[in-house]
Amino acid sequence: MRFHIYWNSYTMFKGAWAMEGTAKWAEYVIGAGTRGTNADIPLPSTMAQMDEVFAHSLPMWFWDRLILLVDASPDSIIHLPPSVAGLTYVDGTPIMKDNKFRGAALIKAYLQALDAEDDVVTAVNGLAQYRWAESYQSNPIHRPRMLKALQRAVRNTGATGAEIDAFLAIQ
């Protein structure tokens, strides 16, 4: 999917739990309405629970719930420029089914946080920037850094509540 190109333009990290989850979010965001079909499963509040998220290549229950809690407005509406709103597939079917776009600010902030974090890993480990071995990009040793980057992005949204606070406290 094209979102993988977007992801790769931001960060060297390729943890499937994050990369595939956000790619699936991007796939659903252009459909009618918003995703959120698994939004009733609570966020992890312990590292053991977070390890369960890490173990899945597509933990949509996690991303659905996180986006719902961070971007809780039922009106997550964006004003698409006509050049985007009017895009169609070859058969004439509109690509954008509506203008609801929940989670975009969080995903963008997360990618920016990952970008900053992979710069640190590059410098600390003397790696060539943008030339990490594929196996190193997806290495589980990066999970704690990726989690901390996500927690920073969530924290910066200003979202609060017991569930968010417990997620942010995972170390």
> Among residues of the chain, what percentage have pLDDT more than 70?
91
**How far is Cα 25 from Cα 1, in angstroms, rounded to an integer?**
11
The residue-averaged pLDDT of 152-162 equals 95
Reported as a single tens digit per residue, the pLDDT across 51-85 is 999 999 889 999 989 998 998 766 666 777 888 88
Residue-by-residue DSSP string for 29-81: HTSSS---TTTTSPPP-SHHHHHHHHT-S--HHHHHHHHHHHS--TT-B----
For residue 27, what pLDDT band results from cuts at 50, 70 and 90? confident
Give this prediction's pTM.
0.87
| pLDDT of 125 strictly over 70 | yes
**How far is Cα 18 from Cα 20, in angstroms, rounded to an integer?**
6
